[in-house]
Amino acid sequence: MVHVGSAAGVVRTDDAQAMDSPRRLLTGCRRKVHVHAMRSRALSVARVIAGPGLVRFRRLRGRAAARRDPITSDGRGYISVVIPVHNVAPYIDACLESVLGQSHWRLQVIAVDDASDDDTPQRLQRWSARDRRVSIVTRATSAGPNAARNEGIARATGEYLTFVDGDDLLLAGAYRDAVASLAASDSDFAVASYERLSGSRRTPPAFWIRDAHAVPRSRATLKSAPDIMVNAVQWTKVYKREFWSRAQLVFPVDGFYQDQIVSAAGFARARAFDILGRTSVLWRIRRDGTSMTQLYRSIDNLRDRFSSATAALHIYRDEAPHGVWQQRLVQFLSNDLAITASHIGELDDAGWEVVRRGLHQMAEEADEFSLWSDVPAEFKVLFHFISINDRARALEYIERGGLRLHDHQLVTVGGDTFIALPFWKDHEAAVPVDRFRASPRELRAFEGQASGNPS
């Protein structure tokens, strides 16, 4: 999505593409959920078909309207859009066109240039010269995307606050729908879904993101909608700026996945939030491999993946309703950290040790609170080998298709359902039998395969 130094990535997060295809059967949605998702997808496609001409028309109309009705001291109706940028010259024009071409034209765009050394500053100057809604903050030395975001927030005066990364795109109506939802619900923020963009090709996000947004919900809370915690990125959210200040939200400066920490604090401290059923952002996957989450194999990135997840869990444990942090831990083990573990074959010794230590700590928490039943068996077995430092068997497990769920059979023993994954009944490997117990998610996947309904 974003070059290192241009915007924070996600623990997810959303290098999840590497594992999403083999698990398309895992959603287990009801038919009405599937219909809503199809309608949402069709609407998103229609917005793209509307084309650049309509976007340009809305941008010019918004520019003229902002001259007549500029932002006032109270910022009423305006959205402050903070865009940290660093060497995004190939993408920034399309990004700003998609932002300024929103039908909700009351925008205060704050582009924070984090010491770019390409053509990004010149492109920003051209945009600022022709549209008064764009202002530029220039940093002489790079301090990273989180510091840039904080600097932009300090200059924000709009009623609402949101974030965009300089290489991503907004879909039409994104801000209109978020503001309309907040005006109707009086929630503290709204969160939308996103899709991946690779070149000109759009693909869905990980299935857990799709599930979380399958049905729109107004004035949701963590008690009523804990599944939304999986959407931990900032560029899908539009906040009331008053809430942002009241909740004392701020981006920790160092790290790759600080979105996790800010999202945890936002979800935990909100009175209510709106979950939108629509896609609002196209998250760009860089072909050159410089997207933030495409760099997760580096040692510093791996360490931050676990430390950010731990920090988020501490916030949920301390500030969210009882039991929420355990649900988030299950999500981490089932989704984000499962992706990390699936790439152990690409890690050197130092990377292996970071993953082993991190997963061992998470596994101890899961053991203490008996959370393993909700974690997919395909990952529980892999985690077991990693946790006990059996690298050879961990790699063999992957090689033998342990992460290809439907290559294996369900087995019923004493009324419990297990999956005959690699090392099932292997006395020498001695994997605890409960690690093979099928999770509810896997059972739904097998049911969906049997019924021929992959949704």
pLDDT 10s digits, 391-440: 999 999 999 999 999 999 999 999 999 999 999 999 999 999 999 999 99
Q: What are the structure tokens assigned to 369, written together?
A: 């609170």
Q: What are the structure tokens assigned to 415, written together?
A: 């009324």
Taking a C-beta distance cutoff of 8 angstroms, is the pair 229, 267 a contact? yes
pLDDT of 20: 45
Digit-coded pLDDT (tens) for 243-253: 999 999 999 99
Distance between CA atoms of 47 and 173, rounded to whole angstroms?
8
Task: Give CA 86 to chain center in angstroms.
Answer: 21
Average pLDDT (159-188) is 98
HSE, side-chain direction, 13 A CA sphere, residue 142: 15
Q: Please provide the size of the chain in residues.
A: 455
Question: pLDDT-derived band of residue 226, with 50, 70 and 90 as boundaries?
Answer: very high
HSE, side-chain direction, 13 A CA sphere, residue 150: 14
Kindly report the pTM of this predicted structure. Answer: 0.86
Question: pLDDT-derived band of residue 255, with 50, 70 and 90 as boundaries?
Answer: confident
Q: Which of 5-19, 127-141, 400-414 has the lowest mean pLDDT?
A: 5-19
Q: List strand residue ranges (DSSP E) for 199-291, in order.
A: 201-203, 217-220, 237-240, 273-284
Q: Which domains does the chain have, with CATH numbers?
A: 17-294 (3.90.550.10), 298-451 (no CATH)
Taking a C-beta distance cutoff of 8 angstroms, is the pair 436, 424 a contact? yes
Question: pLDDT-derived band of residue 36, with 50, 70 and 90 as boundaries?
Answer: low
